[in-house]
Amino acid sequence: AQSVTQLGSHVSVSEGALVLLRCNYSSSVPPYLFWYVQYPNQGLQLLLKYTTGATLVKGINGFEAEFKKSETSFHLTKPSAHMSDAAEYFCAVSRGGGYNKLIFGAGTRLAVHP
């Protein structure tokens, strides 16, 4: 079975500070990993994904994540937070191979303070 744990339901940073959102996964098969962002009253937008290949993945809006198999982690980072980054972030895992459902973590709400 696959599962995702996001450490910290709320994270607060100052504008310009490093953003670090933590995600650990559990999977019995090589995972496909995703980070999505949800702004208020909107659907989800894909930030980045890891399928195969390079373990450091760059996404939109300056975000990146590193797949670490030994740590079963896929943490999301951004060097300098902007006010517009305030949103809820979801980490998700899938096994592919006809099982395309995304299994989401509980989400982390990011607040950015001036």
Partner 1 sequence: EAGVTQSPTHLIKTRGQQATLRCSPISGHTSVYWYQQALGLGLQFLLWYDEGEERNRGNFPPRFSGRQFPNYSSELNVNALELEDSALYLCASSWGTAIAYEQYFGPGTRLTVT
Please give the residue ranges that form the binding site for partner 1 (CB under 8 A).
32, 36, 41-46, 49, 51, 90, 92, 94-107
Q: How far is the CB of 101 from partner 1 (least distance, A)?
A: 4
DSSP at 79: S
Q: Which of 56, 114 has the CB closer to partner 1?
A: 56
Q: Which of 67, 81 has the CB closer to partner 1?
A: 67
* Contact call for residues 6 and 104 (beta carbons, < 8 A): no
Q: How far is the CB of 80 from partner 1 (least distance, A)?
A: 26
Q: Specify the amino acid at residue 94.
A: S
* Contact call for residues 48 and 57 (beta carbons, < 8 A): yes
Q: Which of 44, 86 has the CB closer to partner 1?
A: 44
Q: How far is the CB of 34 from partner 1 (least distance, A)?
A: 8
What does the angle CA 13 – CA 74 – CA 25 come to, to the nearest 5 degrees?
Answer: 115
Q: How far is the CB of 100 from partner 1 (least distance, A)?
A: 5
CA dist., res. 42 & res. 38, Å (int): 6
